[in-house]
Amino acid sequence: MTLTMTTSRASDDEVLASGEYPLTRRDLNEIAAMIYSDAGIALNDSKASLVYSRLSKHIRNLGLSGFRAYCQLVASPEGANERREMLSHLTTNFTRFFRENHHFEHLRDEVLPGLIANAKAGGRVRIWSAACSDGQEPYSIALTVLQAFPNAADYDFKILATDIDPKILAIARAGAYDEQALETVNPSMRKQWFKEVEIGGRRKWQVDDRLKRIITFNELNLMTQWPFKGKFDVIFCRNVVIYFDEPTQVRIWSRFAELLPIGGHLYIGHSERVSGDPKNDFDNIGITTYRYIGKHGGRR
């Protein structure tokens, strides 16, 4: 199969990507509108090849004639489940243990001492891994916490891990990873917190139940209402808002600010920056590392 891209912008019938099925501008626009409505993800013509590669095999497996039939299905009431499947196919789930490790070093050296002291004094500590993917980020947070505070589970010290995709959350809850996934985990840490198992005839590394004990995995769409009653001391939301348009990014930054106490920390992705009015509410204290200083920097 060959995949071709066209560059003219003639009409809704213009083919933007072709191979087994043609993907027209009309198809892409309809898919983009649904994904934006459901998840805030902005797709444009430059993403045509990505959309084609992620969906064409699925369309074949469904026995549909092409993207036009697929768009009609996922837009219909009968296609609600397939619309969720479409979201799973189009969301990017690249992750790894200790990705952008400077965040975990900052958490360990600058943030955790205060949080641990607060927990030992009877306080409540909450860390949120937003868009946690297959769990490698929240488990990296838990590893960092438990290396410094092995009995964290005995205190009110919890990590919330959320993602929009229920399929990827199932993998996260299982916590079993291929050898390759653990390449960025320190060997001594691997020995202490993982055990080798066989699952479905494949060799895997299973996270220790002590890690799972301080993590709660829940499905959450960042575009919908958030069910939180309390604040978070730390929020990780990395390499996510880059897929949103600018107004949506600003809205997300504002909502994060509302959930952080003064002095709370926000870690974001390497290509992201807090933007718009909310940037005045944060101090940029390191590489993609922010401290909340209050609404408009504490000014009234």
Residues belonging to the active site: 54, 163
Give 181-189's long-range contacts (Cβ < 8 A, gap of 24+): 181/96, 181/97, 181/136, 181/205, 182/97, 183/96, 184/96, 184/97, 184/98, 184/99, 184/101, 185/97, 185/98, 185/143, 189/143, 189/147
Check: CB of residue 141 under 8 Å from CB of residue 107: yes
Q: Starting at the edge strand that comes first in sequence, how are the strands of the sheet with 23-24 ordered?
A: 4-5, 15-18, 23-24
Check: CB of residue 214 under 8 Å from CB of residue 158: yes
What's the alpha-carbon Rg for the chain, to the nearest Å? 21
| Cα 126 versus chain centre, distance | 18
Check: CB of residue 210 under 8 Å from CB of residue 229: no
Check: CB of residue 119 under 8 Å from CB of residue 152: yes
The C-alpha atoms of residue 297 and residue 300 are separated, in whole angstroms, by 9
Taken in order 148, 153, 158, 164, is the CA torsion positive or negative? Answer: positive
